[in-house]
């Protein structure tokens, strides 16, 4: 089966399967991107804060695939939310990716940081409290600057990432261009079904990051679940393929990450899961969000108490002090 695509509110289309590049080590990314494009991928998901966009460009060039055939996404990092910094960030991304426009540009998180000493500093620290230097920049102001870059032709489509329904509705009140996409954490243990339905009913294309589960938190992953393995064995498929196609059948764009050419190719294979398999996977939902940077002290998803956030910030500060003390 050919990879399906989704129509965006900008009039462009986005392939339903893309290569994720988060947590790919710099010396692995170029080969992964090259392998993906040669295997038939036409969608690459990148971000400034992954610090590997130059390697993404190397992989694109090595693939021999014309840029016009590739849907390229990048994301605005938290240090560049002030309106005057947005175009600076986009220009850096265009330079690193060696392209003259982006197909999709997302606000990576609904949190703004004070800009550091350089554009490359990701987590500036506030010397007064030793915390990541979070500042207040209205998302409406950041969004307006992104809209201006659509008019300039540097970006074709704009969207958000890690936004709640409340934050999207807030943005709607002032937006000239509505967010086309919301890229969020979705996997069998965190399915966000009601939120996904709401976005799809409102013309927002949903993208799933960490679709197989996230292995940086040492927590159980959906791709390792016995039920997923049972379904995969029954269908003669790999567990990752089962989850990817379960996501695609929910009309969600999925962004699996791999640096192994064989797995990259296998992840692009599309097939239809029978209803009983879809239902079995749906039953695995634990409503368990893995990716929440509590150390910022910001209640991004409205799911934590002030005391939980305060404790997380203090634990992070203690860990940072220990790290500094251990350095020669």
Q: Residues with catalytic annotation?
A: 50
- Phi-psi category of residue 25: left, alpha or beta, with phi > 0 → left and psi -120 to 50 → alpha: beta
8 A C-beta contact, residue 269 and residue 248: no
How far is Cα 46 from Cα 43, in angstroms, rounded to an integer? Answer: 10
Q: Which of 72, 42, 41 is nearest to 56 (CA)?
A: 72
Give the three-class secondary structure for 288.
Answer: coil
How far is Cα 147 from Cα 156, in angstroms, rounded to an integer? Answer: 10
Q: If 0-12 CB within 10 Å is exposed, 13-18 middle and 19+ buried, where does residue 40 land?
A: middle
> What is the pairing mode between strands 5-7 and 112-113?
unpaired
Task: Answer positive or negative: Cα dihedral of 36, 37, 41, 45.
Answer: positive
CA angle, 56 then 189 then 217, to 5°: 60
DSSP letter (8 states) at residue 123? S
């Amino acid at each position: 089966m050919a990879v399906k695509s989704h129509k965006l509110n900008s009039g462009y289309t986005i392939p339903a399967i893309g290569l994720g590049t988060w947590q790919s080590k710099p010396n692995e990314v170029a080969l992964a991107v090259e392998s993906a494009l040669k295997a038939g991928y036409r969608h690459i998901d990148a971000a400034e804060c992954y610090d590997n966009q130059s390697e993404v460009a190397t992989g694109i060039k090595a693939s021999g695939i014309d840029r016009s055939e590739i849907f390229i996404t990048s994301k605005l990092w938290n240090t560049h939310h002030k309106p005057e910094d947005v175009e600076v960030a986009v220009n850096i991304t265009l330079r690193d990716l060696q392209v003259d426009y982006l197909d999709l540009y997302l606000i990576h998180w609904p949190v703004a940081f004070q800009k550091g000493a350089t554009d490359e500093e990701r987590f500036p620290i506030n010397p007064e409290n030793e915390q990541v230097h979070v500042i207040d920049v209205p998302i409406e102001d950041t969004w307006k600057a992104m809209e201006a870059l659509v008019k300039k032709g540097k970006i074709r489509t704009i969207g958000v990432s890690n936004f709640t329904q409340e934050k999207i509705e807030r943005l709607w009140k002032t937006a000239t261009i509505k967010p086309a996409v919301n890229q969020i954490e979705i996997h069998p243990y965190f399915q966000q079904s009601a939120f996904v339905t709401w976005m799809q009913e409102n013309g927002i294309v949903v993208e799933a990051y960490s679709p197989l589960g996230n292995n940086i938190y040492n927590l159980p992953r959906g791709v390792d679940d016995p039920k997923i393995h049972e379904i995969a064995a029954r269908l003669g498929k790999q567990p990752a393929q089962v989850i990817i196609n379960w996501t695609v059948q929910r009309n969600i764009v999925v962004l699996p990450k791999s640096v192994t050419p064989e797995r990259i190719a296998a992840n692009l294979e599309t097939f239809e899961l029978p209803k009983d398999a879809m239902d079995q996977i749906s039953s695995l939902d634990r409503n368990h969000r893995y990716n929440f940077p509590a150390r910022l002290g910001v209640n991004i998803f409205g799911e934590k108490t002030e005391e939980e956030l305060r404790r997380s910030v203090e634990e992070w500060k203690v860990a940072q002090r220990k790290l500094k003390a251990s350095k020669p």
